Structure 1
Amino acid sequence: MAELHGKVAVVTGGASGIGAATCALLAERGARVVVTDIDDERGEAVAAALGEHGVYLHTDVTREEDVAAAVRAATERFGRLDAMVNNAGRVGAWTYVADTTVDEWDSSFAVLARSAFLGTKHAARVMREQGFGTVVNVSSVAGVRTGFGPHPYGAAKAAVLQMTRSAARELAEFHVRVNAVTPGGVATRIVGHGAGLDGDALDASVDSVRQGLATFQPIPRAGEGHDIAGAIAYLVSDDATFVTGQNIVVDGGLTLGKAWPATYRR
């Protein structure tokens, strides 16, 4: 288990799902975490649960000044920035390509691709001067395969993967690493959001998604936030100091394709 004592991380979209699980795991292993989100109630609760290891900051990841402020909060409060985890996301509306609006395309790219760019940009400014640091961008299987998300979502997640490789190449000489983690089917609130749910219906949707995903991928269970958080924690840790420009797919085998029917198994 990689220890993270003394490290400082900013996690976007930290109020729920993969983000909340990542905040909890990083703090459990010794890191201090700036939890960022636009859901203040949930974000503050996540930070409070971390005790002295956590602080919450309202952050709209589509706004450059908000992302810059989150990075600044880490350095001013804790004196350094070891990890920037660009996790915030949304699914968006499922529409045929012919019916997808420009507004939907642009808003998806703002939340998914622009946010990862802004997080990488402002973290890089600090990390180059430090001479160390790591950026982890959360992508999706929709960015590597078709059919796992709306057109804007998949295109934006693919863009995140290419930006990860490009930034990794540039920043390596400064000992700054940039990697991606690509989740498969994970039981989080983001799926319910994409279906237009909110309140109690949104919370209830997580259990429904969990049940549905149990037969959706080769490992017969839904992915959970801690599954993805574990990969992120590895990339943040000193165990991964020679790893950059990579994409770790954590998908329960989803991108392997469907298994043979039971009658053909031996």
Structure 2
Amino acid sequence: MSAIFKKANTAVITGGASGIGLALAQKCVGYGMKVLVADWDAAGLDAAKGSLGEAATTLRVDVSKTEDWATIKGAVVKDFGGQINLLALNAGVGARTAFDGPEADIANFRKVLDVNFFGVANGITSLLPLIKEKTTAAASSVESAIVITGSKQGITNPPGNPAYNASKAAVKSLAEQLSYDLRTWKGVGVHLLVPGWTWTGLAGAASGKAKPEAPWTPGQVADYLEAKMGEGKFWVLCPDNEVTEEVDRKRMLWSSQDAPTGRPPLSRWREEYKEEFARFMASDV
């Protein structure tokens, strides 16, 4: 595939009013692309519109609602002629959940799954027909990329927030299935963006505190995504200033071996496996 990021191409970005979504929108505008930014944060959308300029339009929508996706689809048809070169399904929330105590609220479980998972599923089922129409038309040269934002928590499943982890694990599974189903589609790529620690509102940036050294900026994540898309990679596993790619690979490998080795789930965090895990991380595996 040739570059998705180029003048006159179009992008639809959910969760684009801040963080990684906004950084990605800024990258698109910098290339001369037309951008539709969808988000629920009205104040954030106003600020994003001001920073992105006339190349961007904004829509306040709830990605968990299919009727709001009908609004997005209508705007794509009206403003972009139905063409989507970049579909970035990035919207997410991080409400705390637990099975016991004050955070054991089923409403929070539903909220997280509705936005993080169904916000992706709704986007694919609503807009994939437009992508198919444009990329498969006779003599078409249109190319499209679908970027889905996952999380390392959906792969290694650390204890502490079951709904968020489950939503991102489901998103990972959905992205894998989509990549397989579209494997024969000419000119369409699928990419799973898995950020490391990134200084966004969910990670503490909204607190007003100074950014620590360890996290990447959203702009660094957007740059890394562009590079991996250029390489045709499905997996976009971002490091940060604290965790290297090697460390990430080892952590994921350890977690994937819990079932085949018969270890209890989440063994990495269990006291009885602390020394074995440390030896594994220090090994040349």
TM-score after normalising by structure 2: 0.74
Paired AA for residue 184 in structure 2: E
Q: CA 1:228–1:149 in structure 2 vs 1: closer, same or farther (change >3 Å)? A: farther
Paired AA for residue 249 in structure 1: L
Partner-residue secondary structure (3-state), 1:181: strand
CA RMSD of aligned residues (A): 2.5
Q: How far apart are the structure 2 equivalents of 1:130 and 1:70? A: 17
Partner-residue secondary structure (3-state), 2:171: helix
Matches within 5 A, 1:1-266: 3-79=5-81, 80-96=83-99, 100-131=104-135, 132-147=143-158, 150-175=161-186, 176-192=188-204, 203=206, 205-207=207-209, 210-211=211-212, 214=213, 221-234=214-227, 239-240=230-231, 242-243=232-233, 246-252=234-240, 253=243, 255=248, 256=250
- Higher Cα radius of gyration: 2
8 Å Cα contact 1:81-1:127 kept in structure 2: yes
Structure 2, unpaired ranges of 5+: 136-142, 252-277
- TM-fit CA distance, 1:171: 2.1
- CA-to-aligned-CA distance 1:76-108 (integer Å, 9 cap, x gap): 112211111011111111435686333222211
Q: How far apart are the structure 1 equivalents of 2:54 and 2:180? A: 35
Paired AA for residue 150 in structure 2: S
8 Å Cα contact 1:22-1:233 kept in structure 2: no
Partner-residue secondary structure (3-state), 1:72: helix
- Identity, in percent, stands at 24
Q: How far apart are the structure 2 equivalents of 1:134 and 1:45? A: 26
TM-score after normalising by structure 1: 0.79
Query: Whose RCO is larger (CA < 8 A, sep 6+)?
Result: 1
Q: How far apart are the structure 2 equivalents of 1:100 and 1:186? A: 27
Matched positions, count: 235
Structure 1, unpaired ranges of 5+: 193-201, 215-220
- TM-fit CA distance, 1:234: 4.3
Q: CA 1:148–1:16 in structure 2 vs 1: closer, same or farther (change >3 Å)? A: farther
8 Å Cα contact 1:183-1:228 kept in structure 2: yes
- TM-fit CA distance, 1:75: 2.9
Q: How far apart are the structure 2 equivalents of 1:35 and 1:137? A: 15
Paired AA for residue 166 in structure 2: A
- TM-fit CA distance, 1:110: 0.6
8 Å Cα contact 1:142-1:154 kept in structure 2: yes
8 Å Cα contact 2:228-2:236 kept in structure 1: no
Q: How far apart are the structure 2 equivalents of 1:34 and 1:13? A: 11
Counterpart in the other structure of 2:272: none
- TM-fit CA distance, 1:206: 4.9
Q: How far apart are the structure 1 equivalents of 2:87 and 2:78? A: 15
- TM-fit CA distance, 1:42: 1.6
